[in-house]
Structure 1
Amino acid sequence: MVVLSQPATLDHCSLIKTCKPTGVFTGIPVIDLRDGEAKTLIVKACEEFGFFKLVNHGVPIELMTRLETEALRFFNLPQSEKDEAGPPAPFGYGNKRIGLNGDVGWIEYLLLNTNPLASLNTPENFSRYAVKEYIEAVKRLAFEVLEVMGDGLKIEPRDALSGLIRDEKSDSCFRLNHYPPCSELQALSGRNLIGFGEHTDPQIISILRSNNTSGLQICLRDRTWVSVPPDQTSFIINVGDALQVLSNGRLRSVRHRVLAGSVKSRVSMIYFGGPPMSEKIAPIPSLMAKGEERLYKEFTWWEYKNSASKSRLGDNRLGLFENKTQ
C-alpha cells in the first residue's frame, strides 16, 4: 500500500508492540521436493503446522541473491525517491503503516501486482528484469508444490489447486519487505520490536525467501511463538486462508509474525498465489469424509478480500465465513 513515510525512530513506533524473546523452533518440517515421499510429507506438514521449509526446489540461488541485492539498493535510496515509487495504490512503496486500519510495524516494503493480465509496474529505479525473472521462477515452483500437494490429497484433476493461480485472472501479488536495523532497540530492555504483526496469509499459498537474518516466528497449536532459523537457500511455504477453506480446515493457515533486529537488516521476498476475484471458495467435496459438515460457507475471493480490507492484521478474517453450529 502507498503511504506517507515517517522517520525511522522509536518515537514513531510507540504504538508498535514489543514481545518477550522466544525459543528457536527445532522441529520445522524440512521437505526435499525431489523426495519420492514429498507428496505425503507436504500434506502432513500442512496439517500439523501450516508451513514447511522446502529444499532442493530448483530455483537458482543466483536469482535470489540478485533480487536481494536489487532490493537493498532500492531500500537504501533517499526517502524522497522511495516515496515516489509507483504503481498506484494499493501497490507501490509503503513505510511503517500496514493496511488502512491502524496496523503499524518496523518495516518498509514494495508491493507489486503479478496478475498475468496486469503490467508488472516496478518503480523506475528498480530492475524490472530481476523482479520478473524471480517471480516467474517462484510461480513455477508454486504450481509444482500445489500439484504435488494435490497428489498427496488425491485431488482430481491434479491441477485443481495450481489451476487457480495459473488462471490468467489470478489475483496474485509479490512483496519485498525490508526490516531495517533499529539502533534504539536496546532501550526496550531485552524485548523485541514487531516488524510485521501476527497474521495469516489470505491467499492459497505463499512462497517466502529471506536473507540470512532471523526474525520470522510462527505460532504453534498451543499458541506458543517460536523462531524459525533463517536459511537463505531455501523457501518457507505457508498455507493461506483460501487453502484452509478449500481443504475444509484439514490444512491449516499458519499464524506468523516478524521481529525487527538491532544490528542486521532483514529482507524477505514473498509470492502470494491467489485465485481470480470471481472464484468461488468452498471446501472441495473429495477432501471431505462422508457425512462431514462444511466448516465454511461458500464465498468469492472478492468477498473475502473486501471483508479483509476492513479488518485489523491479527483478526480472524475467516470468522465471518464459518458455518456456525447452533
Structure 2
Amino acid sequence: MAPTISTSAHESNSTDLISFVVHQGNGVKGLADMGLKDLPKQYIQPLEERISGCNVLPEVAIPVIDLSDSDDPKVAGAICDAAEKWGFFQVVNHGVPVEVLEKVKEATHRFFALPAEEKKKHSKEHSPTNNVRFGTSFTPHAEKALEWKDYLSLFYVSDHEANAFWPSACKDEAMEFMRGSETLAKRLLDALTKRLNVEELDEDKQLLLMGSRRINLNYYPICPNPELTVGVGRHSDVSTLTILLQDDIGGLYVKKLDQHDTWVHVPPISGSLVINVGDALQIMSNGRYKSVEHRVMANGSKNRISVPLFVNPRPSDVIGPLPELLKNGEKPIYKQLLYSDYVKHFFRKAHDGKETIEFAKI
C-alpha cells in the first residue's frame, strides 16, 4: 500500500513516514525522489542543531599536508600538530590511486540507485550478517529529529565474508579503497605514536590501533529545506582514525577547538583525503590528540556522497591511555575499557556532540 506522505507540507503521518523511509528501504532518497516541496516535520532540527544558525569562519581552513616526501621529519611533525590542535587535516599525495577513489565514488552512486527492494535486503531486519547494514539517519528510534542521510555500513571481517555478503554493486570498489588506504593509515599512526613515546609500531600495536576496519557509503540526497535539517548531527567518531573521501560538493563542518561553538567548512580538494582523530585515539593518547565534533550540512541543489573508512581497535580490545605515556608519571584521564562496550554506548543513542567520551573518563 502506498504511504500517506504529503509532497507539499510538513503534515506527513509519522508512522507512515517511518515505515516508508526505514522499514520499506526507501530511505531519504525515496522521499527526495517524490519531489517533496517541504521538509517533513520529522526532519526539522532544533534551531541550535542547524548549521545555518552557527558561527562559521569562512576564512579559516584545516591544515593540508603534502605526504609526497615520506622521509621529511617536518611532515610527521605537521601530522602530529594537526592532530593536537585541530583533530582534522587533509592529505594530498597520499599514495591511494586516484582511480581507486573515483571508482568507489561511482560505486556509491550505483548502490544508492538500486531499487528499494534491493537495498532493503541489507537492512537490519533482512541482512544475513550484522556486519552489513543499510540504513537511514543514525539511530531513528532514539532521535527526536531525523538526519537527512542514507548509508551502507560494511564491517570487514575477512575477504571470504565480504565476497559472500557485501553488495555486488560496490563490493570490489569498497575493498580496493580499504586495501589502498592501509599503508596510509600505518604511516599516519607511525608518526602519531612516535610523539606518544612509542618507539616502534610493532604488530601488537598495529592490531590495537587498526585491528578492525569499517567502511561506510553515505548518500545525502537533495533536500527541500536544507537550512532546517542536517545531513549528520554533531558527533565525534569512535575510531582510532577516520580516512574520509569527499566528492566535489562539500558540506562537512568541523568545530574549532579553541573557540566556543565556532565551525570551519572542509572544502573538497581534488584527489585529497580528509583525516580525523577518533575517540579511541583521544583515549589512547590520554587526551593529547583530539577527536573533534563535526557535522554535515544538507544540500538543496545536488546529491552528495562521502566514503569514510573507520580504522579501529578490534571489538575485543581493551583501550586506555598507552602505557608508554604513563610510565613517566603522567596521570591517566581515561579508564581502561572494552572497545566494544564503548562502541555500543555510542550507537544506542542519538548524535550528541562529544558526550560519548565522558563514558571513558575516570
Are the structure 2 counterparts of residues 180 and 61 from structure 1 closer, same or farther at C-alpha, using a change threshold of 3 Å?
same
Q: Secondary structure at the match of 1:57?
A: coil
Distance 2:75 2:206 in 1: 17
Change (3 A) 1:208 1:179: same
CA deviations 1:264-318 (Å, max 9, x no partner) are 1211111101112221111113235844321011111122123223332115112
Instruction: Say if 1:13 and 1:105, in contact at 8 Å, map to a contact too.
Output: no
1:113 is aligned with what amino acid?
F
The AA in structure 2 aligned to 1:34 is S
Contact residue 64 and residue 134 of structure 1 kept, 8 A: yes
Q: CA shift at 1:173, angstroms?
A: 0.8
Partner of 1:302: 340
C-alpha contact 1:248 1:283 (8 A) present in aligned 2: yes
Q: Which residue of 2 aligns with 1:158?
A: 201
Closer/same/farther in 2, CA of residues 161 and 216 from structure 1, 3 Å limit: farther
Query: Deviations 1:226-265 (Å, cap 9, x if unpaired)?
Result: 2111124111111000100100000000110101111112
The RMSD of aligned alpha carbons is 2.4
**Does structure 2 conserve the Cα–Cα contact (< 8 Å) formed by 1:150 and 1:161?**
no
Number of equivalent positions: 313
Distance 2:205 2:192 in 1: 9
Indicate the residue corresponding to 2:132 in structure 1. Answer: 91
| Paired residues for 1:1-326 under 5 Å | 3-4=22-23, 5-6=26-27, 7-8=31-32, 9=36, 10-11=39-40, 13-17=42-46, 18-20=50-52, 22-24=56-58, 26-35=60-69, 36=72, 37-85=74-122, 86-89=127-130, 91-98=132-139, 100-102=141-143, 104-116=146-158, 119-120=161-162, 121-124=165-168, 126-159=169-202, 161-166=205-210, 170-182=211-223, 184-185=224-225, 191=227, 193-221=229-257, 222=259, 223-288=261-326, 290-315=328-353, 316-323=355-362
Q: Which amino acid aligns with 1:196?
A: V
TM-score, length of structure 1 as denominator length: 0.87
After TM superposition, the structure 1 stretch with the greater mean CA deviation from structure 2, 201-210 or 139-148, is 139-148
Moved more, 262-271 or 139-148: 139-148
Partner letter of residue 82 of structure 1? K
Between Structure 1 and Structure 2, whose CA radius of gyration is higher? 2
Instruction: Kindly state the Cα deviation for residue 319 of structure 1 after the two structures are TM-superposed.
Output: 0.8
Which structure dedicates a bigger proportion of its chain to helix?
2
Letter in 2 for 1:20: S
Q: What is the distance in 2 between the residues matched to 1:165 and 1:141?
A: 13
For residue 87 of structure 1, report the CA deviation from its aligned partner.
Answer: 5.0
| Letter aligned with residue 299 of structure 1 | L
Greater strand share, structure number: 1
Q: Structure 1 residues 289 and 259 mapped into 2: Cα distance closer, same or farther (>3 Å)? A: farther
The separation in 1 between residues aligned to 2:279 and 2:192, in whole angstroms, is: 16
Q: Which amino acid aligns with 1:106?
A: W
Distance 1:25 1:181, change over 3 A: farther
User: Cα deviations across residues 188-226 of structure 1 (Å, max 9, x unaligned)?
Assistant: 6xx363001110000111000110011000001212012
Summarize the Cα distance change of 1:97–1:46 in structure 2 as closer, same or farther, 3 Å threshold: closer
Query: Residues 173, 99 of structure 1: CA spacing in aligned structure 2 closer, same or farther, 3 A cutoff?
Result: farther
CA–CA separation in structure 1 for the residues paired with 2:278 and 2:120: 30
Structure 2 CA distance for aligned equivalents of residues 63 and 117 of structure 1: 18
TM-score by length of 2: 0.79
Compared with structure 1, are the counterparts of its residues 232 and 248 closer, same or farther at alpha carbon in structure 2 (3 Å cutoff)? same
SS at match of 1:292: coil
Distance across 2 between alignment mates of 1:320 and 1:287: 21
- When structure 1 is superposed on structure 2, of 54-63 and 299-308 the one drifting more is 299-308
| In 2: Cα distance, 1:25 partner to 1:100 partner | 38
**Letter of the 1:203 counterpart:** S
Matched-pair contact (CA < 8 Å) for 1:24–1:228: no
Contact 2:316 2:340 in 1 (8 A): yes
| C-alpha separation in 1, matches of 2:315 and 2:186 | 19
Q: 1:161 to 1:45 in 2, by over 3 A?
A: farther
- Structure 1 residues 69 and 12, CA gap change in structure 2 (3 angstroms): farther
Tell me the alpha carbon deviations over residues 63-91 of structure 1, each in whole angstroms, 9 at most, x when there is no partner: 11111111112212222322223453463
**Distance (whole Å) between structure 1 residues aligned to residue 315 and residue 160 of structure 2:** 14
Counterpart code for 2:215: F
Is 1:147–1:161's contact at 8 Å kept on the other side of the alignment?
Answer: no
